[in-house]
Amino acid sequence: MMEWTDRHCRFFHRLLTRRALIYTEMITTGAVLHGDRARLLAYDAAEHPVALQLGGSDPRALAQCARIAADLGYDEINLNVGCPSDRVQEGRFGACLMAEPALVGDCVAAMKASVRVPVTVKCRIGIDDQDPEAALDALAHAVNAAGVDALIVHARKAWLAGLSPRENRDIPPLDYDRVYRLKAAHPALAVVLNGGIVDLDQAAAHLARLDGVMMGRAAYQEPWRLLTVDPALFGAGAPFASPKVAAEALMPYLERELLRGTRLHAVTRHILGLFRGVPGARAFRRHLATEAVKPGAGIAAFRAALALVVDTDGQMAHTAAA
Ligand SMILES: Cc1cc2nc3c(=O)[nH]c(=O)nc-3n(C[C@H](O)[C@H](O)[C@H](O)COP(=O)(O)O)c2cc1C
């Protein structure tokens, strides 16, 4: 998620779930080809499985970027057909590609031809005055014919004229039934649902009818939920007995990053929502908000914040160690 997630966030989330697939924020083909590639595509080996999301609409550039990412070890390449920002519309990619299914098919075909890892697409159910029945079917048909490995559908339209990107994540109504109908019409296509999924009960209900679910804001704002993903959805042990133990496991990473010159806040900003309903959660957030942002803030600030949280160790069932 642009502006929110980065490699630090992914490393932290990977501590909380070993099984869920993690996606980068969208990175444009222009940035990969002409920007600071090493920084933009950097990730830690611990993040696997990790997918790179690309923004673009030139099949050759996308194929080139997909190859670069696959060579770097990314486990999946995803094409963004859902971002509604003005910048993206000017570049003729993101959600406006919902109006150009044949071009999206060409993009997928080019990417598929250049890599062995899965190539997926993330789209909306339509844009502006498109009929979601026809628009989503046309897109699904095009990408399916091109060999796409999965279609992730943010189950609402994007209204490109008149709404801000933020409004476009809330105001157009969610239509899960449209995504269920898509799956029914294309049983062989892996269909993943995104949009408004806030807890794992909801996720499990969708999984009974679809091939996958993607959580965005809930995962970021309430990362404690990720600690139950492995037991609840994958039948595996939770990586840690409690959010506090998971936070302690982040220490070596923090120390490493601080030595590399990363500011403490760059990592800890992703952790603020880790404790919910845990005594000391607010004090933890407040301490980090004031101390971790100070120039030169070190690991001691994180330790001190963590010391304010009561450990709920043992309250979570099904840990990996159990
Ligand atoms: C700050 C922010 C940045 C986002 N950036 C991206 C992005 O780079 N690529 C993308 O596919 N979706 C992006 N999204 C959309 C989310 O991936 C997701 O589709 C949307 O928030 C709906 O899912 P949710 O209700 O689970 O959050 C972003 C969302 C937010 C809040």
Kindly report the average pLDDT of the chain as a whole number: 95
Residue 103 corresponds to which tokens in the numbers above?
């071009």
Q: In the predicted model, what is the mean pLDDT of residues 45-65?
A: 98
Rounded to an integer, what distance in angstroms lies between the CA atom of residue 182 and that of residue 189? 9
Mark whether 65 is an active-site residue: no
Question: Which residues surround ligand 1 with Cβ inside 6 Å?
Answer: 1-4, 25-26, 53, 80, 82-83, 122, 154, 169, 194-197, 215-218
Tell me phi and psi for residue 229, to 5 degrees: -65, -45
Cα–Cα distance between 247 and 307 in angstroms, integer? 11
Buried b (16+ CB within 10 A) or exposed e, 272-296: bbbbeebebbeebbebbeebbeeee
**Edge-to-edge strand list for the sheet holding 212-214:** 22-28, 50-55, 76-81, 119-124, 150-154, 191-194, 212-214
- Locate the ligand 1 atom nearest the alpha carbon of residue 156 and give its number: 22
* CA nearest ligand 1 atom 30, residue: 1
Q: Tokens standing for 19?
A: 């099984």
Tell me how far apart the alpha carbons of residues 82 and 37 are, in angstroms, rounded to a whole number. 23
pTM of the model: 0.95
Active-site entry in 65, 83, 96, 123: 83
Alpha carbon distance 139, 311 (integer Å): 48
Residue 315: is its pLDDT beyond 60?
no
pLDDT tens-place string over residues 192-236? 999 999 999 999 999 999 999 999 999 999 999 999 999 999 999
Q: Give the model's confidence band at 318: pLDDT under 50 very low, under 70 low, under 90 confident, else very high.
A: very low
Tell me which residue of 63, 68, 62, 94 sits closest to 81, measured CA to CA. Answer: 94
* Residue 33 pLDDT greater than 70, yes or no: yes
Three-class DSSP labels, 128-164: CCCCHHHHHHHHHHHHHHCCCCEEEEECCCECCCCCC
